[in-house]
Amino acid sequence: MLKEKDLSRGAPALDEIGHYKKWLGFILNRITIVVFGFGSLGVCAGIYNSFMDSLWTPVPIYLLLYGILAWITFSKRSTFVVRALFLLFVIYSFGLLGLLLAGLSGDGRVFLFSFVVMAGMFFGRKAGLAALGWVLITIFFVSSALVSGSLTIPLSIQANSAMSRPWVSGTIVLVLLCLAVFLPWAYLIEQWTRTLKELNYAKGELEQANEAKTIFLAKMSHELRTPLNVIIGYAEMMQEDAEDDGDEGRVEDLGKIKRSGETLLYLIRDILDFSKLELGQLQFSLEDFSVEQLAEDALKSVEKYAERTSNTLTLDIQIAERTMYADRVRLLQVLTNLLHNAVKFTEKGSIRLEVSQELQQGGMWHLFRVRDTGKGIPEDKWESIFSEFVQLEMTHIGAHPGAGLGLTICKELIEGMGGRIVCCANPDGVGACFEVSLPQRVQIEGETVDVVR
């Protein structure tokens, strides 16, 4: 079990707890006003009758305090603490006044009892125990004053004390009713509040650990890319030399090294991009570029991979506006990722990149569709495949290397530029289709924008 002092360290602001405390104070204040007003009538009657022949009377003081209490309770500007403290002050004041005027057998005991109960309800068990201790100290000093004779009760007040007993009896009934209704509920609220604090503390710790993990992955991914690029570069040069020498065995082996390095490089790039997304450090650099050239570059990036899997690549462009304003590098990354996935899950088939445009939301949008004739994606997986670390694990698809981050990153990049990416069905029902929609001119504040999740 966590200690109370530990719960506040690193925990987020608990707006829900504040809301429930205000609601609790709102309800209890109104019920207490009824109890207070009903039970104090007897005390007022006794006080008024005792001092009616005097030049002053404490009744205006009572009315003033009662009016301030009502105003604080019903005012929207009053905080929970202000309402509760003022209410407790008024209840204790009249309890003390009752003891001083009528002794231990008077009506003050009811108010002091209510003072202890309400303190516990508003501020918890510790506050209730502290209030009980303060009441016991008050009773001790009043008793000592009565025994020593330094405090005397006027006979007129003793005679009029009988007038207030019916009101006091009613007050006791109402207070007990409040206890029966609200004490179990207040206990549940206290337990719920503590549980919520613990959950928020645990959430804060997890967020800190996740941030540390993300920073570590980002640094490690960056450090790993440099030696991998060197390995891939040397493998390419050695493969070219082997081709010149006609050594087919070495060409094939070096090709495996190169492909494995490229696969690992893709994984590292995905992890690095995902880490930047989590840290809010991924940026967009907007520029004008040729849509046709972008599509051709995307197909060229997977051309050799498609040859190895005996797939054919097709480009179909049907657009009037040949340029668009967006982040070319990030859009190329998305299209390359989608084409790479299409080739990976298709053998001896075809992959088609379609580019079109249409009017949407009062403006021109470019649509990029990547279609394949592969094994397809079940319709119930069309949304979940964009989640983090999700991979299709079905026997008819088989196992393929990857971290399950590619589509997640694609979704974040496209939505960050104000677009959409969805998985859909091909007209003939064969294979898979991914559709990317982007405005012809991406509207983001500033040329370079941080992505904040």
List, in order of start, the domains of the chain with CATH numbers: 4-206 (no CATH), 283-450 (3.30.565.10)
Rounded CA gap, 426 and 423, in Å? 10
pLDDT in tens, the chain (453 residues): 333 333 333 333 445 555 555 666 666 566 556 555 555 555 555 555 555 544 455 556 666 766 776 676 666 676 777 777 877 887 788 788 777 776 666 667 777 887 887 787 777 778 888 888 898 898 888 888 877 777 665 544 444 444 444 444 555 555 556 556 556 666 676 677 778 888 888 888 888 887 777 777 667 766 777 788 888 888 888 988 888 888 888 888 888 888 788 777 777 777 777 766 766 667 788 999 999 999 999 999 899 889 888 999 999 999 888 899 999 989 998 999 899 989 988 989 999 999 999 988 778 999 999 999 988 888 888 888 888 765 655 433 444 455 567 888 899 889 989 999 999 988 888 899 999 999 999 987 644 444 434
Rounded CA gap, 129 and 361, in Å? 64
Radius of gyration of the chain (CA): 38
Rounded CA gap, 328 and 315, in Å? 18
Number of other CB atoms surrounding residue 239 within 10 Å: 19
Helix axes 291-301, 328-344, angle to 10 degrees: 40
Which residues have C-beta within 8 Å of that of residue 225, sequence separation ≥ 6?
A: 265, 268, 269, 272
User: pLDDT digits over 74-114, tens only?
Assistant: 666 767 777 778 778 877 887 887 777 766 666 677 778 87
Rounded CA gap, 294 and 329, in Å? 9
The two structure tokens encoding residue 254: 């070096």
Rounded CA gap, 123 and 37, in Å? 23
Which residues have C-beta within 8 Å of that of residue 232, sequence separation ≥ 6?
A: 258, 261, 262, 265
User: For the chain, how far is it from start to end, CA to CA, in angstroms?
Assistant: 33
Rounded CA gap, 213 and 235, in Å? 32
Query: How high is the pLDDT of residue 91?
Result: 78
Q: Is 58 exposed, middle or buried (0-12, 13-18, 19+ CB in 10 A)?
A: middle
Q: Which residue has 């694609």 as its token pair?
A: 410
Instruction: Please state whether beta strands 312-318 and 287-290 pair in parallel, antiparallel, or not at all (unpaired).
Output: unpaired
